[in-house]
Structure 1
């Protein structure tokens, strides 16, 4: 799919030129067509999903951080060396600010320019347009949370305003989080399922406003649970209100981007593993050994078995031999396999954590915990008998005394194909126990707790980069986010 965005959406973060007073400065005289809000919205959804699920070592290294994958060729990325030629933080920053937020910003401008069809009443038109804007803002909020959870303080209030602000300041991450909660509350009061929204262009929910309301509450729940250790009062209030209003608890409500079977719109895992013709990735021994010890029935989907039927993993940070280890399983390699932004397993684990923390929710922690595991296994086609057996295993059965360990370890297994979300669970709960013996010295021999700011920001937006780095305690891989206080 063609990347569609105005040059204006790049400027506030990456251009070095000054603001030009010429009224024609930003007019693209050669632009052959006006892109619809629907096309821009679709493209933003795809670019966001691509970034979150791709195993590309140029864009997404969270599967290395979480001991899901090891490398056979590009060892530096698996050692968390991000400042070389690949510049992973730069690429992720650019993808989210330009390809996602840029397209969303242009989509909102497009919605504002749309005209009412003659046959539609003014009331329906106003409600439809309000729903559209609210939905676009939901994806924007999701994207900003990913940015905060990746880097800490980031451009927010001054971002995406290149006409007036070329070098935006970085906002305080905690303040951004609080504003995201406020924005979600406004959106939830705006969305009206009795009226339409997008009739095309929405790959996630096909314009179903009820689905987007559930998405909004699930996002609110996710943000709330991240605040649990740093702002218990707001966390409890946010989690309870989101859960009571209705979140994604069954796989039928998962937020999925449906890829095509043909290039360039097929699933990004397929693109990097199959279509590329390369053998760069194998399963990592951390996840393989853990699932082996539990006799986890999802192994057949997650990994390709060796000739003797066993599953073997390599070591993250080393140059492993492809044929001596299990590769990525066929269950993840269909070209049209949907990309996942939210699923029932993730949300039920959040609910389990909230209940374990004493929040007033509809069910006890054990119920949500088991529902999370059940949802994950059902997604991968595991039968009911095997699920029941797994849930009663001594090292799986819920333990109120060790709830952080139980939820952390089982969320880690369930999030195998969702490295970024797994990283959030790990940083918040401190489980499972992960080591990084081959990590770059810059990571102090540990799994990074954040990404460093892009090199380009240091050179282009230096004053704001310096201020932000100082505010968070240093632009280092080992600096913790504001909500990661344990």
Structure 2
């Protein structure tokens, strides 16, 4: 198994930028989209390398957000269940505005005639802009996937009362941005401060094309046809000469350090307490399939067996259950301080391509890609054995026959663990894997949430634009209103 590891050069970059990044993180306030970046670059001389490092570190946390991981039942809450009971109200988007401001500053600093020459100390203007545009598109995809319509075209420019763009227009612009960014690299120096890909231009291009494919497929309910907008965008990225993440050697990941400031986010989450652990839904699925990834995803309990913590229990139920049972913790390979966390993997892209083939968007063979997705996941996790793999694929539970859409959804869900955010989006769009809401739900509708509620202050601070956005939601500003691409 080949994995991209951080080099000595990358570690030196991180060490040299650590103080700057920590300063940026500690001095960052939570802003509304209309307040951020009023006049970027004018409050001092930006350090694009530190801004990029800070942005990449922020983005690394999106793959370890616990709320969507609870929604897709990867995890259970161990002590104080709220999110797994869907007791989630309005949610601030402050965690995104700072990173978007940093990326916007990089773009503006490399574009403005008065500063672009100074910016060359940190890489070519074109390459800094391309990297920042890719990341900015990705971050905005997270924002719109959570809330739906959000400020976009009028965000980050000093407009106090920005309009909420429709999710359709946002996604189309995101795809445009990724396409232009992928084509915007030049032969100059790559940006310094790149703690993720260490300035590997080829990998940045593959990342952009992979995101184009993922986001195009996300629009499949709105544009299902093989000649529709989404399929056309998907095929353009699939056939791009610069490629996409196609093998484990291409995996986009974060290689963490034995330094608490840049440690694996799962390690940091469990460093002082364990409020979450792997659910019975995930463990029971892996046990039923005799899936070797179980030993990677979970540790055995004190009785030397794998037991998932029941999903969706109330606190009283948890107290009773844990008094008589021992549950498994998430696996050391997932939660280790220096364990890699994955942004995009070959297996995820295999399943993405397989679904596109199922939809008739491409001439690729879905069954072949389905098998490759499982194999790439096994190899990624270091559990591949040829004989065991053949037996696994021959099992009726896993063979590519019958309800192949459901089987593909199940396997994609297993392979993506513990990245709940992407799987929450996939589940909303496809309905797979089939998940049963907790009967102990605390929301009004009893369903697994479909979106986040807008920040609580939006109805006061930007009421006219907020009201217009809410009017476009089927069930108002609630977690039971599907976002546009989920309709």
Q: TM-score, normalised by structure 1?
A: 0.86
Question: 1:345, 1:459 → 2: CA distance?
Answer: 44
Moved more, 320-329 or 208-217: 320-329
Q: Alpha carbon RMSD of aligned pairs, Å?
A: 2.7
Task: Report what 2:238 is aligned to.
Answer: 243
Deviation at 1:419, TM superposition (A): 0.4
Question: 1:101, 1:439 → 2: CA distance?
Answer: 37
Give the match's secondary structure for 2:343: strand
Inter-CA distance 9–312: structure 2 relative to 1 (3 Å threshold): closer
Q: For structure 2, which runs of at least 5 residues remain unmatched after alignment? A: 1-20
In the alignment, is the contact (CA less than 8 A) between 1:345 and 1:376 conserved in 2?
Answer: yes
Of 32, 51, 64, the match for 1:40: 51
Task: Report what 1:176 is aligned to.
Answer: 170
Deviation at 1:309, TM superposition (A): 3.4
Deviation at 1:439, TM superposition (A): 5.2
Question: 1:5, 1:102 → 2: CA distance?
Answer: 12
**Are 1:310 and 2:305 an aligned pair?**
yes
Question: 1:448, 1:259 → 2: CA distance?
Answer: 32
Q: How does 1:132-143 map to 2 (within 5 A)?
A: 132-143=128-139
Structure 1 ranges of 4+ moved more than 4 A: 5-12, 25-28
Aligned pairs, number: 449
Inter-CA distance 309–14: structure 2 relative to 1 (3 Å threshold): farther
Write out per-residue CA displacement over residues 158-177 of structure 1, whole angstroms, 9 at most, x where no aligned residue: 11112xx1121110001111
In the alignment, is the contact (CA less than 8 A) between 1:289 and 1:313 conserved in 2?
Answer: yes
Q: How does 1:397-476 map to 2 (within 5 A)?
A: 397-399=399-401, 401-438=402-439, 440-442=441-443, 444-473=445-474, 474-476=476-478
Write out per-residue CA displacement over residues 384-420 of structure 1, whole angstroms, 9 at most, x where no aligned residue: 2233332222111112x52220111111111111001
Q: TM-score, normalised by structure 2?
A: 0.86
Task: Report what 1:479 is aligned to.
Answer: 481
Question: 1:8, 1:262 → 2: CA distance?
Answer: 22
Write out per-residue CA displacement over residues 117-158 of structure 1, whole angstroms, 9 at most, x where no aligned residue: 99x9xxxx9x93212201110000011111111111011001
Question: 1:342, 1:430 → 2: CA distance?
Answer: 21
Q: How does 1:322-333 map to 2 (within 5 A)?
A: 324-333=326-335
Q: For structure 1, which runs of at least 5 residues remain unmatched after alignment? A: 56-60
In the alignment, is the contact (CA less than 8 A) between 2:72 and 2:424 conserved in 1?
Answer: yes
Of 237, 257, 274, the match for 2:254: 257
Task: Report what 1:96 is aligned to.
Answer: 96
Q: How does 1:139-288 map to 2 (within 5 A)?
A: 139-162=135-158, 165-192=159-186, 194-198=187-191, 200-232=192-224, 233-245=228-240, 246-273=243-270, 275-276=271-272, 278-288=273-283
Deviation at 1:8, TM superposition (A): 9.9
Task: Report what 2:4 is aligned to.
Answer: none
Question: 1:468, 1:230 → 2: CA distance?
Answer: 19
In the alignment, is the contact (CA less than 8 A) between 2:109 and 2:119 conserved in 1?
Answer: no
